[in-house]
Amino acid sequence: MTTMSTSPYISAVSQKEFAAQVLEKSREVPVLVDFWAQWCRPCHMLMPVLAKLADAYAGKFLLAKVDTDSERELAMTYGIRSLPTVKIFRNGEVADEFMGLQPESAIRQIIDRHVSRESDTMVEAALLAHRDGKTEEATELLRDAMDTDPDNDQVKTELAKIYLEQSRLDDAEKLLDRITKLDSEGLALVVRITFIRIAANALPMAELERAISLDPNNCDARHKLSALQVLKNDYEPALQQLLEIVKRNRKFDDDAGRRHMVALFDMIGDSNDLVRKYRNLLSQALN
């Protein structure tokens, strides 16, 4: 059986090594980080399964073990509340996770969402074609990739992007609905579609701003203005309008101010200072 001491795919990682061995390596291949402790019996039961899979995948992913007793700062940073917890890092960010003992088959399914596969080559070709202005060719390549590998969620995300560029909102939504666990990119697309629909048939921004100046309680104008601002990537003014809706009328469109602030937080990402600022402002407005 593969062990941590003999496998080239498994390593113990400390705070000092985490950036290089996990965050940077995850830009090349997925890195599974197993948060464990010596006293945790389920951790010891999970390790042979993870080691077996690391050996079977032969470098398609790396396994990093973090002892939470000696690396408490890492455990706090990543919000570890129960053991074992396994987080999958891709491109420097947490892309997936699971907690507790899981059957090998279930862990394989999770890993397969992130390791490189044959259809990835087709996606790369499609992206090149799209950048060269060959959108129809890119679309066909992505459709072929989806037929070849229907479980590759990146194919759906990239095709949804093209549909969105073509204003095919329903087609984009149908694809994104087929993704079991949206990554940050897929989630951003879902939120953008939401704001595109809100902005449909909206008056020009100057007219909406005038309507608000005449009636500060015009939540519909504020809502549509926020959508137009999101679509221009002007996130702070959009959050300001949504926050005003929360303060003025929680009942507007089924609490749309709060709901769409939260959606925008998801789209921008929790690490953004703007999100931290407006989460606090939203919390104050709700209390």
Q: Which residues are marked as active site?
A: 40, 43
Torsion of CA 173, 176, 177, 178, to 10 degrees: 130
Mark residue 147 as left, alpha or beta (left: phi above 0; alpha: psi -120 to 50; beta: remaining).
alpha
User: Could you give the C-alpha distances from 219 to 25, 88, 159, 176, 222, in angstroms and in order?
Assistant: 47, 41, 34, 29, 5
183: which DSSP letter?
A: -
Quick check: helix, strand or coil at residue 36?
A: strand
CB count, 10 Å around CB of 247?
Answer: 14
13: which DSSP letter?
A: -
CA–CA dist 35, 26 (Å, integer): 17
Torsion of CA 17, 21, 27, 28, to 10 degrees: 160
CA–CA dist 268, 256 (Å, integer): 18
Residues 6+ apart with CB under 8 A from 100: 42, 82, 84
CA–CA dist 195, 264 (Å, integer): 9
